Amino acid sequence: MKIVNVTHGSFYAIGAYAAASLTGAWLSRGYPPMLSYAVMVAAAILVAAPFALFIERVVLRPLYARDEVVILLVTYALFLVLEDTIKLIWGVNPYYIAQPYALLGSFQVAGMAYPTYNLVLVAVALLFGGGLAWLLHGTRAGKLLLAVIHDPEVSRAMGVNVGRYYMATFALGSLIAALAGAFTAPTVSVVPGLGVDVIVLSFAVVVIGGLGSLPGAAIGAAMVGVVRSLSVHYMPQVELFVIYFIMAVVLAVRPRGLFSLAEPRKI
């Protein structure tokens, strides 16, 4: 949608908090732990959806005509607001739900225990990536969306309900962020500031991959993940630094990211 969305980090945090608190409540009542995964997903979607719809409908819609950079600032403002909203709703104490993580057990790889949950997470991520690619390039709605992004005015003239496409896209994007937060919640402690950390990282990822490119995002994420783990393993002092360093290098060589298309200059 040509929106650089800082609020995305907040949705990640909202998803994580919703999943952690509701799944925690579910498990403490002694309900079947295997169903807790369903609760996680449902919690993230149900809690994040109203936020996403409200933000798109009320705040972003009147501002689409403004500059890309202005929209970035708007989402930054929303991010500040949501950050405190999260604190108001869930407080500042950390939440832990380790059960879904431990439940799947672990398996042995070359003599090291590896948690199955992480493997499932990778599969889920691939599934989402594939699903999104199919949605965008394989369905009528996806192709229409690409057209809308390319030129909203002409699309509107052709009879496409542009407003609805914007809303659906923003909601879908936010829900995926919330789900990502929900899936990550069992592996970390859910604390304030979760959103801040993830948003700068994901910016690095999408910029490395090229804004608006799905395979780019996947490869960027893989690069950032691998390089980060390597640096944690070999040179822990450069952990934070190395990600942005890669981003700067990639941008220096490919100014629009690895998988970006050439853009015509407007005269």
Partner 1 sequence: MKHDRTTTIIIAAFVLLVVLGKLLPQWAMFIMTVAFARGLVVLGLLLLLRAGLVSFGQALFYCIGAYAAGGLGRFFGISDIFLEMLVGGALAGVTAFVLGFLLARYRGIFFGLLSLALSMILYGLLVKTEALGSTDGFNILPSTLFGWRPDAEWVRYAVLVSAAAVAAFAAMLVHRYLQTPLGRLAPAIKDNEIRVEYMGASARRAVHVKYVIAATLAGIGGALAATAVGHIDPEMAYWTTSGEFIFIAILAGTGNVVAPFVGAALYGAIHTMAYDLSPNTWQMSLGIALLALIVFLPEGVWSLTGKFRARHS
The binding site for partner 1 (CB under 8 A) comprises 4, 59, 62-63, 66, 68-70, 72-74, 76-81, 83-85, 87-88, 196, 200, 203-204, 207, 211, 237-245, 247-248, 251-252, 255-256, 265-267
Nearer to partner 1, 40 or 204 (CB): 204
- Shortest distance, CB of residue 206 to partner 1, whole angstroms? 9
Q: Which of residues 129 and 212 has its CB atom nearest to partner 1 in the complex? A: 212
CB of 261 to partner 1, least distance (A): 14
Nearer to partner 1, 27 or 211 (CB): 211
**What minimum distance in Å lies between the beta carbon of 168 and partner 1?**
23
Give dist(CA 119, CA 91) in Å, integer. Answer: 31
Q: What is the DSSP letter of 158?
A: T
Q: Identify which of residues 77 and 158 has a Cβ nearer to partner 1 in the complex.
A: 77
CA distance 130 to 152: 26
Closest CA to 83 of 51, 115, 110: 51
Quote the least distance from Cβ 140 to partner 1, whole Å.
29
Q: Give the C-alpha separation, 123 to 106, whole Å.
A: 15
d(CA 208, CA 205) in angstroms, rounded, equals: 5
Which residues fall within 8 angstroms of residue 232, CB to CB, at 6 or more apart?
239
Task: Give the shortest CB-184-to-partner 1 separation in angstroms.
Answer: 21
Nearer to partner 1, 68 or 153 (CB): 68
Our CB check for partner 1 shows the closer of 124 and 249 to be 249
Rounded CA separation 106/167 (Å): 40
Name which of 183, 21, 42 is nearest 100 in CA terms: 183
CB of 182 to partner 1, least distance (A): 24
Strand partners, 108: 113
Q: Give, for 31, the enclosing helix (H) or strand (E).
A: none
Structural tokens at position 201: 């990282």
